[in-house]
Copies of this chain bind each other. A is one copy, B any other.
Amino acid sequence: MKATIYDVAREAGVSIAAVSQVMNGKGKISEERRAEILKVMEKLNYQPSVIASALTGKKTYTLGLLVPDISNPFFAEIARAVEDQGHEMGYSLVICSTDNKDERVERYLSLLQQKSVDGMIIGTGMDNKEMLKPLMDRSIPIVMIAREMQDLALHTVVCDDFVGGCMAAQHFVALGHKRLAILAEHTKVTSSRERVKGFVHTLEEAGMTLSDHHVRNCRYTAEDGKREALELLELPPAERPTALFCCNDMLAIGALQAAKQLKLRVPEDVSVVGFDNTILASVTDPPLTTIAQPIEPMGKKVVDLLLLELKKKSQDKQRVVMRPELIVRQSTGAPGHVE
């Protein structure tokens, strides 16, 4: 027998009006309470027409997530964290891979508006920030994860990239490295820029400098990392860096591949630190020392901020900065050659 609204109300121990509020997305019911009632609906296989609810209540209980590439392990892990917290709160997730291209970002922003998603989580870079303005003018809630748009007032969840860069440099300095280099992402990626700044800042505090030649801008793939690392590691031994800080784990994998090709030992001849601590960091040989982003708490927090934004619009925007963590594995050690 098909479950009715009465069955749901009885099972959840709430009034019919409360169940109706959940379906219509109206009323003052708390998000937690709403999630409980939704779970009862699912348990009883109660099928309200969410579409009809959306027409009256203007809510679809769907969130959009824009990332550069869902097949990139960092963003796949972000998506899993966002999905889990969204589902916990009764929202489902539409994913969109932008390849960091403005035209794809634009198409997806337009598509998600057509779908009447309740809000959007943006984890992709864009050259033209103006693209978000029309959405903001129309009061569509937007929050940012792992990326920043500093001149737009948006809730933002990031890892403290500057501190992450400092941690990498401190680790190398403590191990006794003197000749260091950086494989950075494209300069338009804000998170990568901050990591480089933190790294350089810490070196300067330790009285060390980094020549421009030793900061290499790559894109973000292992191939880019390998190519740039080869150039650095083919320098004469007296100039060759003994420590490479890579602004993501993929670039670090490229650096490991370059070292192997040149028959340099890791970490005896060259130490490598990555960033992100995706699944990739634990499967390389040697396993990668890296700066871990707190991916799961970041995903949870960004959903919570979006739901807050859905409830009341006028609040001050938060910039939540989560602390990264140095995870020491076997790709770093003291420099092996004393010169």
Interface residues, chain A, with chain B CB atoms under 8 Å away: 39, 41-42, 45, 47-52, 54-55, 60-62, 69-73, 76-77, 79-80, 83-84, 87, 92-97, 106-108, 110-116, 134, 222, 253, 256, 260, 279-280, 282-285
| 19 additional A-B residue pairs with CB within 8 Å, beyond A87-B107, A87-B108 | A39-B107, A47-B114, A51-B51, A51-B60, A51-B116, A61-B115, A70-B79, A71-B73, A71-B76, A73-B76, A76-B76, A83-B97, A87-B96, A92-B94, A94-B94, A279-B280, A283-B284, A284-B284, A285-B285
Q: When the two chains form the complex, which single residue of B47, B61, B92, B284 contacts A285, counting CB atoms closer than 8 Å?
A: B284
Contact residues in B for A41 (Cβ distance below 8 Å): 110, 114
Give the complex CA separation of A307 and B80 in angstroms: 26
- Do A96 and B92 form a contact, CB below 8 Å, given A50-B116, A69-B80, A113-B47? yes
Mind listing 5 A-B residue pairs with CB under 8 Å?
A42-B106, A42-B107, A87-B108, A280-B280, A284-B285
Give the complex CA separation of A49 and B54 in angstroms: 11
Contact assessment for A83 and B70 in the assembled complex, using a CB-CB cutoff below 8 Å: yes
Can you tell how many copies of this chain the complex includes? 2
Give the complex CA separation of A331 and B199 in angstroms: 36
- Do A95 and B93 form a contact, CB below 8 Å, given A49-B116, A76-B73? yes
A134 → chain B, closest Cβ, in Å?
8
Give the most central of A47, A70, A116, A260: most B CB within 10 Å.
Answer: A70
A240 → chain B, closest Cβ, in Å?
21
Give the complex CA separation of A253 and B87 in angstroms: 31
- Do A92 and B71 form a contact, CB below 8 Å, given A97-B83, A283-B284? no
Contact residues in B for A260 (Cβ distance below 8 Å): 285
A112 → chain B, closest Cβ, in Å?
8
Contact assessment for A83 and B95 in the assembled complex, using a CB-CB cutoff below 8 Å: yes
Give the complex CA separation of A317 and B243 in angstroms: 57
Give the complex CA separation of A54 and B41 in angstroms: 22
